[in-house]
A and B are shown apart, each in its own frame.
Chain A
Amino acid sequence: MLRIRFLSVKCREEAVMNAIPTIRDYSLIGRDAQAAVANGLTAAEWYHTDVPRKQMKDLMKRSDGPAIRDTIIWLGCMALFAGLGIALWGNWWSVPFFLAYGVLYGSAADSRWHECGHGTAFKTRWMNDAVYQIASFMMMRNPVTWRWSHARHHTDTIIVGRDPEIAVMRPPDLLRLVLNFFGLLDAWHAVGDMLRNACGNVSAEEKTFIPKQEQHRVVRIARIWVAIYAATIALAVAMGSILPLMLIGLPRLYGAWHHVLTGLLQHGGLADNVTDHRLNSRTVYMNPVSRFIYWNMNYHVEHHMFPMVPYHALPKLHEAIKHDLPAPNPSIFHGYREMIPAFIRQLRNEDYFLKRELPPTAKPYREEFHSDAIAQAAE
């Protein structure tokens, strides 16, 4: 079964009849970007579960306490593991400490970047901004560029040609996914982007989502970061040791695996070009350690539906709206067991996706937006 996306009704009918898989153009300035605008998929009215205003206000309420506690644990553990790793440097006993440090650097920083980018982690603005800058540096994500790209991700979630943060494009590039467990391609591209930005070059694609008045900040931050990395490399050369790079830069590679492991589950194998987060996002129950590293982003349908709700209130939000959502995957393993076969099927048919079943208590999907062709493709 094939799903033909939003080219036009006539084109879609023709394509269905001819049973030709849809080739996706993920460029932000390409064919599908124009088609998404023409078909009203951009900045669309997305489905929201009804939540009484008083309850929503309570869920949205900001607080510094949980994020201060978690940040002390996060940075405190990083300092501890780095100290032990340095003390044992040259001995195999340093390995587990660097592995733990790496996960806190190359994975926990991803969720801190995310939550603080939304401005919901802390009540106090400067605390959000400070942790956002630190986490952005660790993840090699320009804080200006990525703030705007993430805003677009929330406006046009998994809309082809519009969302700059689609982690798994179709057909899936499985080699790329595996390499990114070690940050290899992401970091390679991030370094390239940083050097390009530092040279004063903001790309045409970046300009589609970064306002003109913000673009000079992209360049300024890239130049500061280049200076920091240059100083780290110079120190490593002067010491004749990679130790400085084990603390700054390389953890983005050797500690990336957890954020990729959890991040792929957010939207992997699910629908694209829909306007209902229940169809394109996945909530997964996870162990407490992963939830700490991931800052509760395993409640991903809830986060996309109500991005104002801080990470520490997402479990409460989940309880409040789960009657209207597809059943969560009970574990990371369960999530991968459904997602990997979907990736493999998308290699043969990139229109294939997993359609999330709703419980009887849920409001049905809006079929006027999500056509029968979608249901057929989901098989």
Chain B
Amino acid sequence: MPSLRQRNSPIGIAVQQNGRKEMSNWIEACAANDIDEEDVIRFDHDGRTFAIYRSPDDEYFATDGLCTHEHVHLADGLVMDEIIECPKHNGRFDYKTGEAKGAPVCVNLRTYPVKVEAGKVFIGIE
């Protein structure tokens, strides 16, 4: 099972993929090498659950941890290139943009900004 972590972090500015600037709370989620390349782990914080991804080209991304179709943790799913596939019904999302890629998922996944500093992965939660 992916590791579960709960850490704290300073507040900062995060830039979301749509270019909007939002005040974010940077939360230390895990060490960068806790995630294998082309894989995902689960991160729980403050009653919420997130999925943190490491892409094949060694970039990090974060989304909500639960599939928008049903209550299933995406961290148990399969990462293929930029796609995360839900382990229950094989619904697919682009984890870089959150876009739902077809049935049985119809609702996009929420994404969060990520930064890596000193070998640690931080996600920006507003």
Task: Show the binding face of A for B, using Cβ within 8 Å.
Answer: 43, 50, 53, 57, 60-62, 118-120, 123, 144, 147-148, 151, 154-155, 211, 213-214, 306-308
Q: Which residue of B lies closest to A45 (CB)?
A: B71
**B71, B90, B106: most-surrounded residue (chain A CB, <10 A):** B90
**With contacts A43-B70, A155-B70, A307-B90 known, what are 8 further pairs, Cβ within 8 A?**
A50-B1, A60-B78, A148-B103, A151-B89, A151-B104, A154-B89, A214-B103, A307-B87
A118 touches B90 (CB 8 A): yes
CA of A144 to CA of B102, assembled, Å: 11
Q: Are the C-beta atoms of B106 and A213 separated by less than 8 Å?
A: yes
The number of inter-chain residue pairs (CB within 8 angstroms) is 46
Taking the closest CB of chain B, its distance from the CB of A276, in whole angstroms, is: 15
Closest to A210 in B: B103
| Contact size range, B | 10 to 19
Bound complex: CA A123 to CA B80 (Å) = 9
Chain B residue with the shortest CB-CB distance to A120: B90
Q: Which of A43, A53, A308 contacts B85 (CB 8 A)?
A: A308
Chain A residues with CB below 8 A from B103, complex form: 144, 147-148, 151, 214
Nearest-Cβ distance from residue A125 to partner chain B, whole angstroms: 8
Interface centre among B69, B103, B106 (most CB of A within 10 A): B103
Q: Are the C-beta atoms of A211 and B88 separated by less than 8 Å?
A: no
Across the interface, which residues of A come within 8 angstroms of B94, CB to CB? Answer: none
List 30 interface pairs A-B (beta carbons < 8 Å), by A numbering. Answer: A43-B70, A53-B2, A53-B39, A57-B39, A57-B78, A60-B78, A61-B78, A118-B90, A119-B85, A119-B92, A120-B90, A144-B103, A148-B104, A151-B69, A151-B89, A151-B103, A151-B104, A154-B88, A154-B89, A155-B70, A155-B88, A155-B89, A213-B106, A214-B103, A214-B106, A306-B87, A307-B88, A307-B90, A308-B78, A308-B85
- Measured in the bound complex, the distance between the Cα atoms of B71 and A342 in whole Å is 34
In Å, the complex CA distance between A214 and B90 comes to: 17
Quick one: which of B78, B92, B104 has the most chain A CB within 10 A?
A: B104
